[in-house]
Amino acid sequence: MRTEISPSKGHTAPPLSLASQSRSKHGALRLLLGVLLTVAVFSYLFSSISLRSVVRSLRDLEPTGIAVFVMLSLTASLARSWRYQLLLRSSGHVVGTRPLFLVTLVRNLCSDLLPARLGSAVYIYLATSRLHLPLSVATSSFGISLVFDIISLPPLMLFLLGNSKELGIPPLLLGGAVGIVIVLTGTLVYFSSYILRSLPPMKLPFPNSILKPLREIFEQAESDLFRLRSPLLFSHVYLLSILLRFLKYLSLVIFFYSLLLALDYPTESFSSAKAFIGILVSELAASLPISGIGGFGAYEGAWAVTFRLLGLPGWMADTTALTHHLFTQGYGYLLGLSALIALSLPKKRKTNEPREISRALSSAPVIGKHLLLLLMPIILSLFYLSEKRAAKATPPHTPQQLSAATPLSPLPEGIEVIFDSNQSGTFGIYLLSERGEVALVDSHAHEMYP
């Protein structure tokens, strides 16, 4: 190996106390900015919508839509677990699907807890402490998975080609741009092992106790990337990455349409391409170094702005920004905490048995029934999505229905009827007496848009 990490001669490392103080100041500043961002976004959202409308939209969600969302999100986590499993097998370490699946769920839980998705690095800790993998192997599989997460996004952009006329983007231009990105990213990954080998020795002002594990991590990454030059292994890892990305965004899009139906919005007037763009921008905003507290803040702000620009009414963009993220985050936290409890239970330690790479590839989990298990939820969900996309909002009452309605009885003397409506879409019917007494007399059946 040509890449070597060694301490630099004649260079003294800065005092650890000063470095730690600097990191603490930067961390405190990021925390303060995150708190301010979260407070600012939520203050704006609740100035235009009410908590009542948020609760009502969640209450009116269709159970089938929630079930489809849960099915897709669990399948996406399973695909991520199989990708970890495939990368670990290629390096000679065999880990069961169940413990890897639990680790993946905890990784999903922690992903949004820190800015820039840094919480997902908890996978490295769990892989070494609970799965008993070497630090170099765990770090390498985590880093390579992160790279494939990035390069698997361009194929998803091909999804926009079918709706490019509505978006105003020429199909040839969009298809060419996506094709160029795919070729460039694939080439970069394919030759990444040679890039690592060609790097000059790095001089870092760290003691040998730190340089030794860093050297092992670089060596492991170089070895794993070199094995990824195998067309079979590369295609399997890339396919799993595309599938898990598609499963994730499909689950979020379907849940978005479930919210639109709960709010009685005509779903056929808002294309799947627009929904994908709005969710993608929100997800990217949550990956910024300053994204809010616990994943809340930048996501909702980006959602509200983007969906407004895409044509969704302002009050509905604000409502879905809160309800969508509150539900998906709450679901992820509940699932991750359950997985963390399961991982904390005492169990017998099992040593990972190394296998030959050829044998590991022959038993790659993407082949056969595992691939079918990933594709079946996608097919079923696409049928469900097409059905809900064709669903129409509740039509207004016809003149015949209005004429046949039972008229209201005369109001007692001194009683007035007050109709109250606001931009959040809430609607109330009140009886007001001369003495100032107010009574709410409407029900959910009276809800309407302003």
Q: Please check the confidence at residue 79 and state whether its pLDDT lies above 70.
A: yes
Dihedral sign of CA atoms 382, 387, 390, 392 in order: negative
Question: Residue 187, exposed/middle/buried by CB under 10 A (0-12, 13-18, 19+)?
Answer: exposed
Range with top average pLDDT, 163-167, 204-208, 370-374, 397-401: 370-374
Q: Looking at residue 362, what is its pLDDT?
A: 44
- What is the DSSP-derived secondary structure letter of residue 133? -
Higher pLDDT, 117 or 423: 117
Q: Looking at residue 227, what is its pLDDT?
A: 83
Q: Looking at residue 198, what is its pLDDT?
A: 65
430 falls in which pLDDT band (50, 70, 90)? low
Burial 308-330 (b: 16+ CB within 10 A, else e): bebebbebbbbbbbbbbbebbbe
Beta strand pairing call for 427-433 and 438-440: antiparallel
- DSSP of 393-446, one letter per residue? PPPPPPHHHHHHSPPPPPPPTTEEEEEEE-TTS-EEEEEEETT--EEE---GGG
Angle at CA of residue 108, ends 106 and 110, nearest 5°? 70
Distance CA 368, CA 275 (A): 32
CA-wise closest residue to 332 among 137, 120, 163: 120
126 falls in which pLDDT band (50, 70, 90)? very high
Q: Please check the confidence at residue 331 and state whether its pLDDT lies above 90.
A: yes
Mean pLDDT confidence for 46-74:
88
**Residue 168, both tokens:** 């105003």
Residue/partner pairs of 302-308 with CB below 8 Å, 24 or more apart: 303/278, 303/279, 304/41, 304/44, 304/45, 306/277, 306/278, 306/281, 306/282, 307/278
Mean pLDDT confidence for 413-442:
55
Residue position matching structure tokens 């005492």: 346
Q: Please check the confidence at residue 100 and state whether its pLDDT lies above 90.
A: yes
- Three-state DSSP state, 91: coil
Distance CA 271, CA 250 (A): 13
Burial 33-59 (b: 16+ CB within 10 A, else e): bbeebbeebbeebeeebbeebbebbbe
186 falls in which pLDDT band (50, 70, 90)? confident
Q: Looking at residue 73, what is its pLDDT?
A: 95
174 falls in which pLDDT band (50, 70, 90)? confident
Residue position matching structure tokens 């509200």: 304
Beta strand pairing call for 427-433 and 415-421: antiparallel
Distance CA 233, CA 251 (A): 27
CA-wise closest residue to 337 among 118, 113, 131, 143: 113
Mean pLDDT confidence for 369-395:
74
Mean pLDDT confidence for 138-144:
92
Cβ-contact 266, 286 below 8 angstroms:
no
448 falls in which pLDDT band (50, 70, 90)? very low
The 10s digit of each residue's pLDDT in 349-364 is 554 444 444 444 444 4
Give the range among 86-95, 302-311, 342-351, 378-387 with minimum mean pLDDT.
342-351
Cβ-contact 111, 285 below 8 angstroms:
no
Q: Looking at residue 39, what is its pLDDT?
A: 80
Q: Looking at residue 201, what is its pLDDT?
A: 53
76 falls in which pLDDT band (50, 70, 90)? very high
Q: Looking at residue 2, what is its pLDDT?
A: 46
The 10s digit of each residue's pLDDT in 312-328 is 998 899 999 999 999 99
Higher pLDDT, 406 or 283: 283
Residue position matching structure tokens 């820190």: 114
Average pLDDT across the chain, whole number: 76
Q: Looking at residue 3, what is its pLDDT?
A: 47
Residues β-bridged to residue 415 = 433
Q: Please check the confidence at residue 34 and state whether its pLDDT lies above 60.
A: yes
Q: Looking at residue 293, what is its pLDDT?
A: 74
Distance CA 448, CA 49 (A): 15
Q: Please check the confidence at residue 366 and state whether its pLDDT lies above 50.
A: no
What is the percentage of the chain residues whose pLDDT exceeds 90? 28
Phi-psi region of 150 (alpha: psi -120 to 50; beta: other; left: phi over 0): alpha
As a dihedral over the C-alpha atoms of residue 171, residue 176, residue 179, residue 181, rounded to 10 degrees, the angle is -110
Phi-psi region of 92 (alpha: psi -120 to 50; beta: other; left: phi over 0): left
Q: Please check the confidence at residue 378 and state whether its pLDDT lies above 70.
A: yes
Mean pLDDT confidence for 256-277:
88
419 falls in which pLDDT band (50, 70, 90)? low
Type of residue found at 39: V
